[in-house]
Amino acid sequence: MANVFAFVESRGSELRKVGLEAVTAARTLADDSGGGEVHAMVLGPTGIAGKAQQIAQYGADVMLVVEHADLANYSPEVATATAAERIKAGGYRGAIFSTSAQGRDLAPRVAARLGVSVVTDVLSFEVDGEAIIVRHPINIGKVIATLAISGKPAVIAMRPNVISPAQNAKAGRVENVPPAIDPKSARVIVKETKQGTSGKLDLAEAPVVIAGGRGLKVAENFKLVEELAAAFGNAAVGATRAVTDDGWRPHSDQIGQTGRLVSPELYIAVGISGAVQHLAGMRTSKTIVAINKDKDAPIFKIADYGLVGDVFEIIPALTAAVREAKKHH
Amino acid sequence: MTDNSGVVLPSRHQAPLPVDRLILTGPPDAEAVPMDVLFVGGGPAGLAGAIELANLVRRDAEAGGTLGDVQIGVLEKAGALGEHSLSGAVINPVAMRELFPDLKDGDFPFRGPVTGERVYLLTGGRSFRVPTPPTMQNHGYYVASLCEVVRWLGEKAEAAGVNIFTGFPAASLLTEGSRVTGVRTTPTGLARTGEPGSGYTPPTDITAQITILAEGTRGALSQAYLEWQKVPSENPQIFALGVKEIWETKKPLDAVVHTLGWPVPLDAFGGSFMYPLAPNLVGLGLVVGLDYKKTTTDVHEMLQRLKLHPLFKPYLEGGEMVEWGAKTIPEGGYYALAKRRHGEGVMIVGDSAGYVEVASLKGIHYAMQSGMFAARAAFAALKTGNASSASLSRYDEMVNGSFITNDLYRRRNMRLAFQKHGFFVGGIMASLMTVTGGRFPGGKIESETDAHVSRMAAKSESIIPDGKLTFSKLDAVFKSGNATRDDIPSHLLLGPDVAPEVAELYTHMCPAGVYERDGERLVVSPANCVDCKATDVIGPRWTPREGGSGPKYRQM
Amino acid sequence: MDVRFKVGADAISLDETGLKFDINDFDAWAVEAALQLREKNAGSEVTAISLGPDVVQETIRKALSMGADRGVQLKADKVPFDGLAIATALAAELKTGGYDLILFGKMSPDSSNGVVGPMTAELLALPCVTAISSLAIEGGKGTAKRELEGAQEIVEFQLPAVLTVDEGLNTARYPSLKGIMAAKKKPLDVKPAQLPTPQVTVRKLELPPERKAGRIIGEGATAVPELIRLLQSEAKVL
C-alpha cells in the first residue's frame, strides 16, 4: 500500500489533458503498488478549485488545491516549493509529472529539492519490488532504455499521449494548500503567457499536417492541400523546400532539415518524393500517409499507407471522404 | 543541344573551369593565418605527408637543427577526417611501413590480410571463374576501410603536432606572380541567394611558404593550377566512377572477389569488387569509366543490378545495406600525369596528381608515398629557405625515380586500349601489355577527355528498387550520411544548352540523384551531392562549398 | 544523419565504434549565448565545463575554438544516466566559481532527459529558467521567452541565474581557423568528478521496433475509402 502524488498541469484556469494523464498514471501506479491513494495537486488563480471534481473523475482521492490570485501564470518557484514540501510530508511512493514544457521545468526542480533523481519522457512504468522500472527513449528516440529508479519517491514525468486519461470516479476530498512561498517574492516570474494565434494552427502543434511538394505542379494547386486541411479541421499546411524556394508557400511553411521539425499524429505527404532533407523534418510523425504518382518514390518507404496515383484526382476524393467521416463523428 | 542523330557531346554543355575564382591574384587578407607548409586535403596523401614532414622537423630539432617552430597545417573539407574518404580498398602496405618503421603490419588499422582471391567473368545469369591476372594479384596486401585508415593517420598527425582543420574547404589558391602563397577557404553560412545568412563566417586566408595540393580525385585547385600555368600532359586525365556499398551480411565472404563483364556494357570499361571487412561485413562496388558511350549508362543502377546476380545475391540476401558512397578515380595513368607536379611554392600529390594504377586498382600507397616525397622536398626547401620551383623539382624527381612512376609506366596503355578498342580487343591488348611489361604495342595510345567522348541517346532501363537488395538514389544518399544544409547556394555551375537529352545524361551520370530530368527541364538538388566529382568530369562543374557539406562516410 | 546505434554486448551500453562525438546543438547555442554576452560585457569571462571521459575534451575544445576562455573537464569514466548525480558533481564545481550566469543546453540528446540544468540550479539555490528561446539581460535582471505547447511565456528573473537553452535563441558560430589555433593554447583543467551513487541505473538498452514497412494500399481515388477505413480503425487518427 502506497500513496502516489500527481501534479495536474493547468494553464490559466483550465486543466491540461496531460494533467489528467498524470492522474491516470498515478492511479495505475498506486494500484500496482498494492492500492493506495492518489493525491493530485493543482495550482492556479482564484477559481481553479472549481476544477477539483474533474480531477476526481480520473481517480484522485485527494485534490490538493493551491489557489492564489497571483497564480494565473505558472510560477516555477511557487510550484517547486509547494509540491516539494507536500511530497516530503506525504511519504509518497511516486510523484508523477508530465513531460510538457511546464513538467520538464518543474519535475527536476522538485526532485532535486527532495534529493532524488527523475526520469522524464517516460513511455511506461512498472513496479519491481523496491524499484520502479521505466522505459525512456534515449539518443533522440533511436534507442529505448529500461531504467530502474531506486530513490523514493520515484519522480517520473510521463510522455504525453502514452496514457489516455481514464474515467475512474472517486469521491475525492478537496484539501486547500497555501502556496509555500509568496508568489510575489519569487525570483523568477512569468510576466505573461501569450496564447498562439488562434485560427491558424502552428505546424509544430497541429495534430494533423498536410504537406505538399513539387508533384502539385503549380502554386494554385496548393488550394487542394488547404481544402484537405480544412476538412480535417485540426490540420496545418506544410511544404517541401522545392515548393518554398519556388515561392508557392512562405519559407515558414517548409518542413525539413533546415525548416520546421514536425511530429504530428497524422502526416499526409501530397506529391512529395521524399528527399533526405525533407524526411529529416517529419520522419517521427506517428502515422504517415503518402500520395504520389511515382510508386518508387522514397516517401513510400517510410509511409504507413501509400496511395499511388494522380494527386489531382485523389486529393479531392480524400477531402470529400474526410469531410464525410468528420460529419459522423 | 544535340545533333540530329541524338548524340550528346558533354564538353559542348560544360561550363569552363572557373579559373578566375580558383586562382586569386590579390594580396592575402591582413588577418591571414600563417603556416609554413599547408596540405590541402586530409586524405592518405596529405596526412602521410604531414606526418613525414613533422617527423623530419622533429628529428632535425633533436639533431640541433635551426629550423625552429614549423607550423604544418592540413585543411580538410569534410566535417571530420575520413568522412569524404572512399576506396575499395585492398592496400599495399609499402608506404605505411616506410612511414612507420617502428610499427608492424598488425599495428596498422587494416581489417585483415587478403587470404584468397577470385576473378570472374560475368554474364547476365552466370559467372565464369578466370585465372587471376598478374596485375590483380593481392597476396601480401590488406583489406581496409579507407575512412578508418584516414582517421588513424589523423590521430598520428595530431600527436606529431600537425594542425588539422576539418570543415574548411580551400576555395581558391592565393598567388603572387606564378608563386602560390596559400589558400582562401570557403565562407560558411551563406544563404541560398549567396548573401551572408545567419551564422555567416567569412573566408579565411592561410598563407604558407609551401602549399601541397592533396585534394584527392579531380581536385579543383589542382586542375586550376595546371590550367593557369599551362602545364601539359601527354594525354588528358580520364576518370572512372566507383559506387560502393557496405553490407552487414549473414554469410561470410572468404576472399576478395573481382568481376568483369556484365552488367557493364561492352562499350564501357569497368568491373566490380567485393571485399570482406569482417566476418559479417562486406564492401562491394562497381567502377565504370566515364567514357561510356550512352546517355543512359548509370553506374548506381548497374550496381543495383549486380547485387541480384547469383554470384552476389547469396551473400547479401537477408543482410542490410549500412552505408553507400561514390567517388571518381583518375584512370589516365602514366600519360595523363602533368609534365610537372610542382611549381613555385606548390606541389600536387596523390589522386590530384593522378597516381592511380588502374589494372591493379591501386592508389592509396602511391598517394601516401607521393605525400611523403613532397614532405621531403618541402623539408629541404625549408632548410635552404628556398621554395622555388627549382627547389621543389626534387619532388618530381623522387616520384619519377620510385615505384610510383615505374608501376604507372609499365601499365601505361592498358586503360587507354579500352577507350580505343572496346572490351574484347582492348582486353586482349591489355593481356599482351602485361606479358610484355607494357612494351606492346609500343608508343602511346592517344586519348581524349571523358567530356569529349560523345554519347548516344538511348532508352533507359530503370530498375525498380525493392528497398531490400536494391535502392533508389535518394535512399542511397541517405545511407551516405549526407545531411548537407539544403539552403546553401548551389556549388554546381551549369553550362549552356542543357537539352532534355543532356539532362538525361546528367540524371544517369550522377549516382546521388543531384540531377533529375523532369520532362523538358533539368531539376538540380545540389544538397544531394556527395563530392564524387563525376559531374565535374562530364557534367556541370563542381566547386568547393561550405565546410562539412557532403557525405559522412564511416567505414568506406 | 542516419546514425545507427548498436547496443553493446552487455546490453546496457551502446557500442560506440565508429560514432563521432561532437558538441550537441543545444550546448552550442548555450556557448554562443555566453560568448555574445561576453562581447557585450567587457571584462567578463566564459568557462566551458563538461563532465565525462576524455572524449569530452573535444567538446570543450570546440567551445574554446568558438571563443570560450577556459575549460574544465570533470573527469568520470562514464557519464551516469542519473541527472541528479551529474548535477551534484557540477554544483560542487560551480558553487565556488562566482558565475553571474550558468547556461546549459536544454537536454543532451544522449540521455534525452533534460534535467541537469534545473537540478543544478536547485542544488545551488539559484533562480532558473528552462528552455529559453530569447534572452535579454540588463542591470542584474534578465528577460527570457519560453516556448510552450501553442503558447509562449515571457519570464523575468534575477541574476545570478541558471538558464537552459532551446532552439531559436541564436545560431551558433562556427569555430574560425584562428579560433582553433587559439584554443590549443587555452587552459583546460581536468579534475575528478565528485559523483554520488546514482539512483537511476540502466537495466537494458534496446532498439525500438523498426517502423513497419509501409504498404501501398491502392491506386487512384478508388483506394480512398480503404485509406479512410485504415485511418479510422487501424491508425485511429481520424
Q: Please tell me the predicted confidence (pLDDT) of residue B191.
A: 87
Q: Does C216 touch chain B (CB under 8 A)?
A: no
Chain B closest CA to C57's CA: distance in Å? 14
Is the CB of residue B470 less than 8 Å away from at least one CB of chain A? Answer: no
Judge whether B404 and B355 are in contact, CB under 8 Å. Answer: yes
- What pLDDT digit, counting tens, does each position of C51-87 carry? 999 999 999 999 999 999 999 999 999 999 999 999 9
Distance CA A225, CA A248 (A): 12
Q: Does B308 touch chain A if contact means CB atoms closer than 8 Å?
A: no
pLDDT of residue C38: 96
**Distance between CA atoms of residues B281 and B17, nearest Å:** 40
Contact residues, C window 52-91, toward A, CB-based 8 Å cutoff: 81-85, 87
- Name the most confidently modeled range: B224-228, C2-6, C110-114: B224-228
Please, which residues 13-52 of chain C have a Cβ atom closer than 8 Å to chain B? 18, 20
Q: How many CB pairs under 8 A join A and C?
A: 254
What is the rounded average pLDDT of the residues C134-157? 92
Residue A154 has pLDDT above 80, yes or no: yes
B358-397 burial string, b = 16+ CB within 10 Å, else e? bbbbbbbbbbbbbbbbbbbbbbbbbeeeebebebbbbbbe
Q: How far apart are CA A64 and CA A92, in angstroms?
A: 14
The C-alpha atoms of residue C35 and residue A106 are separated, in whole angstroms, by 28
User: Residue A23: left if φ>0, alpha if ψ -120 to 50, beta else—which one?
Assistant: alpha
**A31/A43 Cα distance (integer angstroms):** 25
pLDDT higher for C94 or A233?
A: C94
Question: In the prediction, which pLDDT does B237 show?
Answer: 97
**Number of CB pairs < 8 Å for B and C?**
42
pLDDT band at A253 (very low <50, low <70, confident <90, very high): confident
Window 126-185 of C, Cβ < 8 Å to A: 127-131, 143, 146-158, 161
Kindly state the cell numbers that stand for B181. 602563397
The span from the CA of B169 to the CA of B173, in Å, is 11
Question: Residues in chain B with pLDDT < 70?
Answer: 1-5, 422-429, 432, 434-435, 441
Closest CA to B12 of B499, B526, B518, B496: B496
Say what the pLDDT of residue B1 is.
44
B542 near B509, Cβ under 8 Å? no
For C160-189, write each residue's pLDDT tens digit: 999 999 988 998 988 999 999 999 999 999
Name the E strands within B187-280: 188-190, 196-201, 205-207, 210-213, 239-248, 256-261, 270-278
Could you report the per-residue pLDDT of B210-237, keeping only the tens digit for each?
A: 999 999 999 999 999 999 999 999 999 9
Residue B492 CA to chain centroid, in angstroms? Answer: 18
CA distances from A171 to A32, A39, A66, A165 (A): 20, 12, 19, 17
CB B75 within 8 A of CB B41: yes
CB B183 within 8 A of CB B10: no
Q: Say yes or no: B525 contacts chain A, CB-CB below 8 A.
A: yes
* Beta carbons of C115 and A145 less than 8 Å apart: no
Quickly list DSSP for B298-334.
-HHHHHHHHTTSTTTHHHHTT-EEEEEEEEEEE--GG
A256 pLDDT tier (thresholds 50, 70, 90): confident
Note whether ipTM > 0.90 here: yes
Taking the Cβ of residue B28 and every Cβ of chain C, the question of whether any pair is shorter than 8 Å is answered with no
Contact C177 B168 (CB under 8 A): yes
Of B460, B464, B474, which to mutate for an interface test with A (greatest number of A Cβ within 10 Å)? B474
Query: Per DSSP, which regions of chain A are E strands?
Result: 4-8, 10-11, 14-15, 38-44, 62-67, 94-98, 118-122, 124-128, 131-138, 143-149, 154-158, 173-176, 188-195, 208-212, 235-239, 266-270, 287-292, 305-308
C38 touches chain A (CB under 8 A): no
The dihedral of CA B322, B327, B332, B338: what is its sign? negative
Task: Note whether A274 contacts B: Cβ–Cβ < 8 A.
Answer: yes
The predicted structure's pLDDT at residue B207: 98
Using CB atoms within 10 A of its CB, is residue C234 exposed (0-12), middle (13-18) or buried (19+)? exposed
> What is the C-alpha to C-alpha distance for residues C31 and C116, in angstroms, rounded to an integer?
16
Nearest Cα neighbor of A307 from B477, A317, A209 is A317
CB A201 within 8 A of CB A235: yes
| Cα four-point dihedral sign A134, A136, A142, A143 | negative
- Does A198 have pLDDT greater than 50? no
